[in-house]
Chains A and B, each alone.
Chain A
């Protein structure tokens, strides 16, 4: 499959300050990619380079498998971190304007706008001026404006910041829809919990460099090992001796089991059933938050990229 978006060793400096220092990432069709990092890591600068708002000093941005052309951006839906609307325009006029900037024809857009406004329950506001809308309603209009022209790729900079729960839900549904349709989403966030729930792949950057990148599941496995939570009764001392279990850490009502790398839960469970009375057995992944802190910490200690796996699929 041709990646929808690739960044290849992109750099940007402001004077002596390296805002983005060789960031690479790939967004595949049918996936949601999270661009993660603490504030000031270079997420917005990277995204602005993707959107050709600022030019990289070095490196390349490729869309749809070839070097970026300016009109490629018409197939992208972009929501900047700093976002707004023309206050004096009516909702419909505004959406028509945004659609036309993406090359859509007004005639074709009108039904789509009606459909979208219906979906976000703002049909009665179509003829009202933007300034009459509440903040939550304006966020919905921004969302509609981002996807109205049916882009193949969404690039969202901190899409969840300042959103009320209803709009967060709308965004999450939208992301899921894009994954289902074989389109893709790249979004940035500094809130790991969101990325944890939504992303297929992540690219974690700190101080302008990629510290960790790849498939979220693989990363979790690598960082957290093959970790399981076991609630059981019986002679728990026997757990460590079960084949495939590397370590058993005793807990109140059971244990936390770290399996050997090539062992899987399905293999080990029958052996556990023989050894003890199992009440509950489930994989317990490490939180992305922990990985994030660990990875950023590592990279600061070594002063370089800890994520050797970066750019791998």
Chain B
């Protein structure tokens, strides 16, 4: 292989991508998009949620008013009502971000009116139905006289698929009913709440550098983010390689090029150039990630509640990420290149490309298994299968440092496999790029590999 020729090709591939607007749009938009996913919902929740207007008919005469208090929007400072609502067990200050959000949700979402129970239940229900249908109300709740004993309450609304809202209502009703029962049994609800307090487990991650407090959630978010980032770039850039090969073939530029560059040089140059483009993009993304998780920056971001753990990204993790990306890229891209070379247009190639994606998606099926038990036999074996190593080893390294030999073996096997794939793909590629016309059969592809 003449390195200079491959380098000229690589340079073209790299510049063709990096000079395009789409590349930078994707590079900048993705972090913004992720940030938006983090921030926007919070903003929306705090601001504008249309209230759920509920009429409560309480035939026990005991529960209705209390339910209304519990669900009514509470002033932010004086929060006892809101705080005791729903998550009565949660201790102030120890509850997570999610619970805080939930609390906000509940506080903002209901507009409860207690309707006196009329003498004629049927007439009253008909009247309530009319008000719902006319849009005066969203729903009404019927608390029958024996509700405390039967534990049954009815919810009537035009749409009953709003299960989150129903869940909240049910939680609130349960809490109200529970307190009544405690009091009826002569117990002090405050005391019970105090005694039934949840235990909170603090998680520590043990690493070579010593123990470090880290939220389970934070570690999970990091593992999740790295895993899917890797998955995304492997799929995206694999497709880029395939489309690039097809474009060269269908535009007939390839024959001009292969008169001065050997197909193998062309293939290597192409992979190298696109790989560098991917690394450029990853550098921006990882840089952003690291910058935003630096301790100083985190505390400066006011929108993150103080008690939310932000994962810390170590240099070692980034090195592994880049290495695994390189392995994954070369394994999958050579296959994508071979597929691209064999067909005349993207449509023809797509079904084969879909077949490759299976190998990329398979690790996703192992995701929870590995997260939960990264050292189980299944996790270890799956992470050593070359097609799966890039993604699954990434996941394992992100959640718990695996034994050195496993990491080394994974790298070694995948490297050997990658070289094999490059060799095989190059044979298909050099025949495929000059074949126009009909779609090759499997048998023909096999022949290209053997005789080319």
Contact = CB atoms under 8 A, between A and B. Distances in A.
B16 interface: yes
B443 to A, nearest CB: 13
Interface in B255-279: 255-262
Given A53-B434, A86-B16, A97-B12, A145 B260 contact: no
Interface stretch (A77-85, A245-253, A304-312): A77-85
A101 B252 contact: no
Contacts of A78: 256, 259-260
Q: On chain A, which size bracket covers the interface?
A: 20 to 34
A96 to B, nearest CB: 9
Contact of A84 (B4, B9, B251): B251
16 contacts: A51-B259, A70-B2, A73-B260, A76-B259, A78-B260, A80-B255, A84-B251, A84-B256, A86-B16, A86-B253, A88-B16, A88-B20, A89-B12, A97-B12, A101-B257, A101-B260
Interface string A269-311: 0000000000000000000000000000000000000000000
Contacts of B255: 53, 80, 82-83
Contact of B261 (A76, A89, A93, A101): A101
A103 to B, nearest CB: 8
Contacts of A73: 259-260
B259 A83 contact: no
A157 to B, nearest CB: 9
A221 interface: no
A141 B256 CA distance: 13
Given A53-B259, A73-B260, A100 B252 contact: no
Given A53-B258, A73-B260, A84 B253 contact: yes
Contact of A80 (B8, B12, B20, B252): B252
Contacts of B15: 93
Interface residues of B, number: 24
Given A53-B258, A78-B259, A101-B260, 16 more contacts: A51-B259, A52-B259, A53-B255, A70-B2, A70-B262, A73-B260, A78-B260, A83-B253, A84-B252, A84-B253, A87-B251, A89-B12, A89-B16, A98-B256, A101-B261, A145-B256
B5 interface: yes
Of the candidates B5, B247, B259, the one having the most CB atoms from chain A within 10 angstroms of its own CB is B259
Nearest to A76: B259
A83 B248 CA distance: 10
B436 interface: yes
B251 A86 contact: yes
Contacts of B258: 53
Interface string A133-152: 00000000010010000000
Interface string A33-60: 0000000000000001001111000000
A74 interface: yes
A26 to B, nearest CB: 21
A209 interface: no
Interface in A62-82: 70, 73-74, 76, 78-80, 82
Contacts of A51: 259
A78 B16 CA distance: 24
A97 B2 CA distance: 16
B251 A85 contact: yes
A12 interface: no
B251 A101 contact: no
A73 B15 CA distance: 26
Contacts of B8: 97, 100-101
A102 interface: yes
B245 to A, nearest CB: 13
Contacts of B259: 51-53, 73, 76, 78, 80
The 7 closest A-B pairs by CB, nearest first: A84-B252, A84-B251, A80-B255, A82-B252, A78-B259, A101-B260, A84-B253
Contacts of A98: 256
A82 B257 CA distance: 12
Contacts of B248: 86
Contacts of B251: 84-87
B230 to A, nearest CB: 28
A83 B260 contact: no
Nearest to A131: B251
Contact of B436 (A82, A93, A103): A82
A70 B256 CA distance: 15
Interface string B203-220: 000000000000000000
Given A82-B436, A88-B16, A101-B8, A74 B260 contact: yes
A54 B262 CA distance: 11
A87 B250 CA distance: 11
Interface in B1-45: 2, 4-5, 8-9, 12, 15-16, 20
B4 to A, nearest CB: 8
A145 B12 CA distance: 16
Contacts of A89: 12, 16
B253 to A, nearest CB: 4
Contacts of A101: 5, 8-9, 257, 260-261
B256 A83 contact: yes
Interface in B214-261: 247-248, 251-253, 255-261
Contacts of A48: 434
A52 B263 CA distance: 11
Contacts of A83: 252-253, 255-256
Nearest to A102: B260
Interface in A204-237: none
